[in-house]
Structure 1
Amino acid sequence: MDRTGLSRLVVFVTVAESGSFRAAADRLGIAPSAVSHAVSALEDSLGVRLLARTTRATRPTEEGAQLLRRVSAPLGEIGQALRAVAEPGDQPAGPLRITMPRLAADEIIMRRLPQFCAAFPRIELDIRTSDRFEDIVLGGYDAGIRLGESLEADMIAVPASPPRRAVIVAAPAYFARHPPPEHPRDLAGHNCIRRRFDSGRIYRWELEKDGHALSVEVKGNLILPQQELILRAAVGGVGLAFLFEDTVQAEIADGRLIGVMQDWCPPFDGFYIYYPSRRQMRPALRAFIDFFRMSRGA
């Protein structure tokens, strides 16, 4: 492929990742008309439509998605090589894009972020938060942070937190009106505060006892997008909530929340830093992993 074709391919991938021509133009530092021209020229040369354009978003067609899957990894390798050249003497430097849910950013990154930035001032850390499970290769990320149970088998993963546990809780005011549930079947008679992810999917409560796992589609008159909002609603007496134990410890300790069905809430894998297998890891990514990975004594 000639250089013109390669540059058009880079533009196409950027549009597919960004979701719009204007956003891609901003990332590439060129005019939107130049982005449109490059994509159109690539489509003409291949004889297929690669992007479906609507008034709300731009998404890859089936042919475009197939091409994206084939070229994202090689282009990522090229980007890694270019950034590695910009890190003379193996000193951590350059852009580093990481995706993670908001909870991971709050609990793992933000607490130690000042120390990391002070230790590695030449790293340009770009954190994106989303509850969607991002394909870091297709998304152009260097790494991501997710719960261990969500990781794909072909990813390298290192622990960034201890095992976690979710608990079912409600306020004393709620239990004054409703008997505490003792079994998953009892949840059908309760007002459960549900959570909707960025993808639009509503979370099904995942419970387990003695090796018997259940995925329960609970019901309730309130749906919220974030754990902190669900916590506030639970403290207010709205209904039952299913929340990470360490986020409600204070509320349980002072009696604002009461835990139930403890035997159906076992621990599970915590957060992991995950990244694709590459022959040569950039010093910037190595610095991030070494800094934020869970220490053996944790």
Structure 2
Amino acid sequence: MKKLVRMDDLQVFVSTVATGSFSAAARQLDISPALASGAVQRLERSLGFRLLVRSTRRLRLSDEGQRYLPHARQVLEALVEGEMALEQGREEIGGVLRLSMPSDLGRNVLLPWLDEFQLQHPGISLQLRLSDQVADMVGDRLDASIRYGQLADSGLVALPLAPDNRRTLCAAPSYIARHGTPRTPEELAGHNCLRYVMGEQTHERWGFHLPDGVRTVSVSGDRTSDDADVVRRWAVAGLGIVYKSRLDVLADVRAGRLVELFPSECGQAAPLQLVCVHRQAVSPAIQRLRSYLGEKFAELG
């Protein structure tokens, strides 16, 4: 009969895969490398399978480990969800909350919501980092990061905020009046496309979900920026076409400053989530913030 699996062993396993070594996982979880190695060995004995293949230079997942990893993550995420449900009834929260978030969404959507959240919880002290670059959560000592997109294969804990969000193709009425409306992705080659830069990479390959499958096209234009808010402002000014998260442009669309050019289902998925380094980092303040923001995004429709 197999032994019961310990939750802390699951966390060590997921963190070891994410960081690539027992020593890095141990630093992340504030335990010794020997304890990290022992936890994974105990998990393997409980399951009756080898999850990690060890060599003198590196660790890699075994075939069984590859199959088991997503389930381990789901268990840890479910545990976080349960703890969040229990925390909802607790008394006032407090302390410093260090958050990173995308520039456009942060300035134009999240800031007033965070002001309201802080009024509801005056014991909270906010420290915000607004940037479209992926934050180093450990190096910058962040409590959480609000991020678009699916997480890469990692041990991070992702709590959904707007899981059904997509990108949308938009332009100002003034741009459409001068240059017309593209009817297909291929017609974007004849338009000025406003692009943003992440790291060293310019986002200039735009993918669309069409009835006959995914279509990806290369676009070009006379303006790029590493600040997505700037790119949105260019679009509102009628200087080109933009392909952004619908959450970023929703207010502009509803006010008539921008027009959506393709049906909403054509846009690439851009789920929004609240990300923490590991399960232990999901504090009562983070849990309350996630619940609050989730309700706010649901109200946007």
TM above 0.5, yes or no, is: yes
Which residue in 2 is equivalent to 1:292?
293
Distance in 1 (CA, whole Å) between partners of 2:295 and 2:157 is 15
Query: 8 Å contact 2:105–2:248 — kept in the other structure?
Result: no
Q: 1:201 to 1:263 in 2, by over 3 A?
A: same
Please give the per-residue CA displacement for 1:236-261, whole angstroms capped at 9, x wherever unaligned: 33222223445545655665544323
Distance in 2 (CA, whole Å) between partners of 1:213 and 1:221 is 26
Q: How does 1:48-127 map to 2 (within 5 A)?
A: 69=24, 72-75=27-30, 92-106=93-107, 109-127=110-128
Which residue in 1 is equivalent to 2:7?
none
Counterpart code for 2:144: A
Show structure 2 runs of 5+ residues with no match.
1-19, 33-89
How far did residue 150 of structure 1 move? 3.9
Matched, 1:130 2:99: no
Counterpart code for 2:262: M
Q: Equivalent pairs: percent with the same residue?
A: 26
Which residue in 1 is equivalent to 2:201?
201
Structure 1 length-normalised TM = 0.59
More deviation in 125-134 or 227-236?
A: 227-236
Please give the per-residue CA displacement for 1:114-141, whole angstroms capped at 9, x wherever unaligned: 3322333333322212212234234422
Distance in 2 (CA, whole Å) between partners of 1:113 and 1:296 is 13
Q: 1:219 to 1:149 in 2, by over 3 A?
A: same
How far did residue 147 of structure 1 move? 1.7
Q: 1:134 to 1:216 in 2, by over 3 A?
A: farther
Query: Residue 160 of structure 1: SS of its match in structure 2?
Result: strand
Counterpart code for 1:184: P
Q: How does 1:13-32 map to 2 (within 5 A)?
A: none
Query: Residue 158 of structure 2: SS of its match in structure 1?
Result: strand
Which residue in 1 is equivalent to 2:267?
266
Query: Residue 162 of structure 2: SS of its match in structure 1?
Result: coil
- Alignment size in residue pairs: 222
Show structure 1 runs of 5+ residues with no match.
1-64, 78-88
Query: Residue 117 of structure 2: SS of its match in structure 1?
Result: helix
Which residue in 2 is equivalent to 1:234?
235
Distance in 1 (CA, whole Å) between partners of 2:138 and 2:257 is 43
Q: 1:141 to 1:264 in 2, by over 3 A?
A: same
Distance in 2 (CA, whole Å) between partners of 1:120 and 1:235 is 35
Counterpart code for 1:203: H
Counterpart code for 1:243: K
How far did residue 279 of structure 1 move? 4.8
Query: Residue 181 of structure 2: SS of its match in structure 1?
Result: coil
Q: How does 1:40-51 map to 2 (within 5 A)?
A: none
Which residue in 2 is equivalent to 1:163?
164
Counterpart code for 1:232: R
Query: Residue 169 of structure 2: SS of its match in structure 1?
Result: strand
Distance in 2 (CA, whole Å) between partners of 1:233 and 1:156 is 35
Aligned residues: CA RMSD: 3.8
Query: Residue 118 of structure 2: SS of its match in structure 1?
Result: helix
Q: 1:144 to 1:151 in 2, by over 3 A?
A: farther
Query: 8 Å contact 1:168–1:240 — kept in the other structure?
Result: yes
Distance in 1 (CA, whole Å) between partners of 2:277 and 2:227 is 28
Query: Residue 229 of structure 1: SS of its match in structure 2?
Result: helix
Please give the per-residue CA displacement for 1:25-75, whole angstroms capped at 9, x wherever unaligned: xxxxxxxxxxxxxxxxxxxxxxxxxxxxxxxxxxxxxxxx99994564145
How far did residue 189 of structure 1 move? 2.0
